[in-house]
Amino acid sequence: VTFAPTMVNRSLLYGDNDAATLKDIAQSLFTVEFALFATAYWFFYLVVAAAVSAIAVIKFKVDYTNLEISQLRREIFLTLEGYTTNAVCYFIIIQFISSWRYEFTDVKDVAISYIGNSLVFCVWFYFSHRLWHSNRFLYRYVHSHHHESVIVCPLTSLSNAWIESVWVSTGYVIGPYFFGFSNIWGWYMVTLSIIFEAIIGHSRIPYSLEHATHHAVYNKNMGFFSYRMGRISIDKLLNTWSYKSEVPRMRKLYRREVMSYVWNDNEHKVNWDMLGKDVDCDENIKCDKPALVSDSDERDSSDSSLSSCSDCNGLAQNKGAPSCQEPMEKIICNPRQ
């Protein structure tokens, strides 16, 4: 059963005779079909976000208690705004294309549609993302809302302003309309996989910290699926990739995770003994839990000049850094990456 609306054979682009009017599209948003579509869409998000959060906390000992209530409130509001906008955009896109194919048993067609739309979306998102960060006007009005969260969690994943959701959603039109990747099941799989990857990327579990690195230094790791694509990712090809271990500020913001995960092109492992520790200090040194990180945490570039050991020994006074009870010069730094 497909959630495609009754107007699916109409198009805004394929001629005047079968073109859906703006009135038709507006009316479709008040139908049972849209209600079912939006409900299923939200259900998928809530289930995935809850499951990923539970895995992060239980299995990987991720500590989300360093998030302020004001951040969580803001992210809930923005998620309601941005994610609902996504649902509206996707429903309109279904009406926008007149060439949808519905053969879910045609595995080859579904696979081609999935892979093709994924690649097209990755390119669209990467260059859109770079544009947002390179233009002050676009950053302020399109993307800055998402970056108000310096410390990320699954709720951060889709906490966007409505205008960013509209911009990103246009990337889902390019594949089916211009390149013929229009098997609707492959297209559905892309939209759901993007949601899944976004939630994973903000969860702080192994390998996902590469996107958290982007929240720490804005000009790095701008693509989707970059860590999965290895050396051929757009980020690596265009020199905007950085591992978390290469960004000293990550040791301030995500110390436990940075010290616990080794995840790169050559090695993938989790140091399970480190998961329960707050800092990478000598075991004889007792340290407090990390302080809360404020929404107003300064995003200055001075952090990038810190070395690994100076990061361990010199950040106690900064927000979000562990505060050790012993004199800082006595702490032994044991970087593992």
List, run by run, the mean pLDDT of 10-residue segments along the chain (337 residues).
Answer: 39 43 81 92 96 93 90 96 95 85 92 95 95 94 93 94 96 93 94 94 86 87 75 84 81 80 68 61 37 39 34 34 32 31
Q: How many helices (H) and strands (E) does the chain have?
A: 14, 2
pLDDT of residue 271: 74
Cα–Cα distance, 108 to 118 (Å, whole number): 15
Q: Are 166 and 85 in contact (CB under 8 A)?
A: yes
Q: Which pLDDT score, from 0 to 100, does residue 256 have?
A: 78
Cβ–Cβ under 8 Å, residues 235 and 226: yes
Measured in Å, how far apart are the chain's first and last C-alpha atoms?
49
Distance between CA 148 and CA 3 in Å, rounded?
34
Neighbours of 330 (CB within 10 A): 12
**What pLDDT was estimated at residue 229?**
65
Grouping H, G, I as helix, E, B as strand and the rest as coil, residue 101 is strand
Nearest to 263 by CA among 213, 320, 192: 213
| pLDDT value, residue 209 | 84
SS3 letters across 49-79: HHHHHHHHHHCCCCCHHHCCHHHHHHHHHHH
Distance CA 298, CA 167 (A): 28
Q: In this structure, what token pair is assigned to residue 245?
A: 């271990």
Per domain, the residue ranges of the chain are 19-208
Would you give the DSSP letter of residue 261? E
pLDDT of residue 291: 35
Structure tokens at 82: 């941005």
Quote the CA–CA distance of 49 and 147 in Å, as a whole number.
19
Give the Cα separation of 294 and 297 in Å (integer).
5
Place of tokens 């950040």: 315
Which pLDDT score is estimated for 311? 37
